[in-house]
With several copies, the nearest count.
Chain A
Amino acid sequence: MLNKDQIAQRIAKEVQNGQYINLGIGIPTLVANYIPDDLEVVLQSENGLLGIGPFPTEDKVDPDLINAGKQTITMSKGSALFNSSESFAMIRGGHVHLTILGAMEVSENGDIANWKIPGKMVKGMGGAMDLVASAENIIVAMQHCSKDGQSKLLKECSLPITGIRCVKKIVTDLAVVEVLPEGGFRLLERAPGVSVQEIIDKTEGRMLVEGEIPEMSF
Chain B
Amino acid sequence: MINKTVANAEVAVADVFSNAVLMLGGFGLSGIPENSIKALLARDLHGLTCISNNAGVDDFGIGLMLQKRMVKKMISSYVGENAEFERQLLSGELEVELIPQGTLAERVRAGGAGIPAFFTPAGVGTEVADGKELREFDGKLYLLERWLKADFAFVKAWKGDTAGNLIFKGTARNFNPMMAAAGKITIAEVEELVPAGELNPNEIHTPGIYVQRIFQGKDYEKRIEQRTVSRK
A interface vs B, CB < 8 Å? 18, 20, 40-42, 44-51, 54-58, 61-73, 75-96, 111, 122-130, 133-134, 160-165
Interface contact tally, CB-CB below 8 A: 249
What are 21 pairs between A and B in contact, CB < 8 Å? Answer: A45-B171, A47-B171, A57-B229, A57-B230, A63-B224, A68-B27, A77-B197, A79-B1, A80-B209, A81-B170, A81-B171, A85-B109, A85-B177, A92-B102, A92-B121, A93-B114, A123-B79, A123-B80, A125-B98, A129-B101, A134-B121
Interface residues of B in 30-51 (CB under 8 A from A): 30-31
Give the Cβ gap from B118 to chain A, nearest Cβ, in Å.
11
Q: Say whether B216 faces chain A, with CB atoms less than 8 Å apart.
A: no
Mark the stretch among B6-14, B15-23, B64-72, B157-165 that contacts chain A: B157-165
Q: List residues of chain B with CB within 8 A of the CB of A80.
A: 165, 201, 204, 207-209
Q: A57-B229, A71-B226 given as contacts; is B98 within 8 A of A47 (CB)? A: no
Q: List residues of chain A with CB within 8 A of the CB of B98.
A: 122, 124-125
| Among B126, B170, B177, contact of A161 (Cβ-Cβ < 8 Å) | B126
B interface: dominant SS: loop
Is A42 within 8 A of B204, CB to CB? no
Is A79 within 8 A of B201, CB to CB? yes
Kindly state the separation between the CA atoms of A95 and B3 in the bound complex, as whole angstroms: 16
Kindly state the separation between the CA atoms of A151 and B68 in the bound complex, as whole angstroms: 43
Give the Cβ gap from B217 to chain A, nearest Cβ, in Å.
14
Is B126 within 8 A of A122, CB to CB? no
Q: List residues of chain B with CB within 8 A of the CB of A66.
A: 27-28, 30, 171, 224-226
User: How many residues belonging to B are interface residues under a CB distance threshold of 8 Å?
Assistant: 81
Q: A133-B122, A163-B125 given as contacts; is B201 within 8 A of A61 (CB)? A: no
Q: List residues of chain B with CB within 8 A of the CB of A46.
A: 101-102
| Among B30, B103, B120, B205, contact of A63 (Cβ-Cβ < 8 Å) | B30
Is A92 within 8 A of B209, CB to CB? no
| Among A44, A84, A164, contact of B27 (Cβ-Cβ < 8 Å) | A84
Give the Cβ gap from A164 to chain B, nearest Cβ, in Å.
4
Give the Cβ gap from A115 to chain B, nearest Cβ, in Å.
8
Is A84 within 8 A of B224, CB to CB? no
Q: List residues of chain B with CB within 8 A of the CB of A124.
A: 76-80, 98
Q: List residues of chain B with CB within 8 A of the CB of A40.
A: 1-3
Is B126 within 8 A of A129, CB to CB? yes
Is A72 within 8 A of B227, CB to CB? yes
Give the Cβ gap from B21 to chain A, nearest Cβ, in Å.
16
Q: Say whether B178 faces chain A, with CB atoms less than 8 Å apart.
A: yes
Q: Say whether B63 faces chain A, with CB atoms less than 8 Å apart.
A: no
Is B126 within 8 A of A162, CB to CB? yes
Q: List residues of chain A with CB within 8 A of the CB of B28.
A: 47, 66, 70
Interface residues of B in 100-132 (CB under 8 A from A): 100-106, 108-109, 111-115, 120-128
Q: List residues of chain A with CB within 8 A of the CB of B225.
A: 66, 70
Q: A92-B121, A123-B78 given as contacts; is B171 within 8 A of A72 (CB)? A: no
Closest to B2 in A: A40
Report which residue of A41, A44, A81 has the largest number of chain B beta carbons within 10 angstroms of its beta carbon. Answer: A81
